[in-house]
Amino acid sequence: MSRPRFRRHFLWDTVQPRFMTLSFCYVVVVIVSVSGALFLPLMLQLDHLPLSSSEAQRVAEQFELLHSRFWPAVFVVSMLLIVHGVFFSHRIAGPLYRFRRIFRSVANGDLTVRTSIRKSDYLHAEAQCLGEMIGALREKIARIEAHHADMAPQLERLKQAAARGSFREVEQEADRLRSTVDQLAQAMEPFQTKSDAVEASPASMPAAAGF
C-alpha cells in the first residue's frame, strides 16, 4: 500500500518542517516590508490631508486600487512559494530520512542496505560517499570473517595432532594458527574504537619543563 500523497512530499520527523517554518517567516517579513513601503506613505499622506479635499480623494482611490491588486498577487505568490518550498525541501529531507534508516541498519549490523536515492533528489554526492563507506566496511568485515573461518579447521587439526602426540605437527599447526591470528589482527587494525583524547591519558603525556 502506497503512502498518502501528502506523506510522500512532507516528512514531519525530518528537517523539512523547520525549513518550511523558516521559509514562511521569510515570506511574512518580505510581505510586511513591501506592504509597509507601499501603503504607509499613502496612509501618512491621507492623515495630513483634509478628508473633503480632492487630493485626499485621489490618494484614497490610489490606496484602494493598490489594495485590490496587491493582496491577491501576494496570495498567489505565497501559495506558489509554499508549494515550491515543499517540493524543494523534500528533495533534501527525503535523502536525509533515507540516510537515517541506513545508519540504523548499519548500527544493527546490516551491511546489505542500498544507498541509492531518487534522481530528482539532492545529496547524491553524500549518498555515493555513504555507499563507499558501507562497501569498505563490507570488505573489511568479509576479510575478518574469512580469517575467522580459517581458524576453526586449524584448531581441529591442532587438537588431532595433540591427540596423536605428534609434536612436529602440533608445532606446524600452531604456526599456521599464529599466522592466521596475525592476519586477523591486521584486518582489524583499520577499526578504531578509542579516540585520541581517550588514548592520550595524562600519565602518558610528557611532563612540562620545570615540573
Q: Is the predicted pLDDT of residue 175 greater than 50, yes or no? A: yes
> Are 89 and 21 a contacting pair, CB within 8 Å?
no
- Are 42 and 62 within 8 A, CB to CB? yes
pLDDT at 197 over 70: no
Confidence band of 5 (pLDDT split at 50, 70, 90): low
142 vs 138, 148, 176, CA distance in Å?
Answer: 6, 10, 20
Residue 147 has what pLDDT?
87
Q: What is the pLDDT of residue 8?
A: 66
- Tens-digit pLDDT profile for residues 16-38: 889 899 999 999 999 999 999 98
- Indicate the domain borders of the chain: 5-107, 138-189
Are the CB atoms for 59 and 46 separated by under 8 Å?
A: yes
pLDDT value, residue 116 = 86
Q: Which residues contact 39 (CB under 8 A, 6 or more apart)?
A: 63, 66, 67
Residue 209 is predicted with a pLDDT of 45
Instruction: For cell 586449524, name the residue.
Output: 154
Mean pLDDT of the residues in the chain: 84
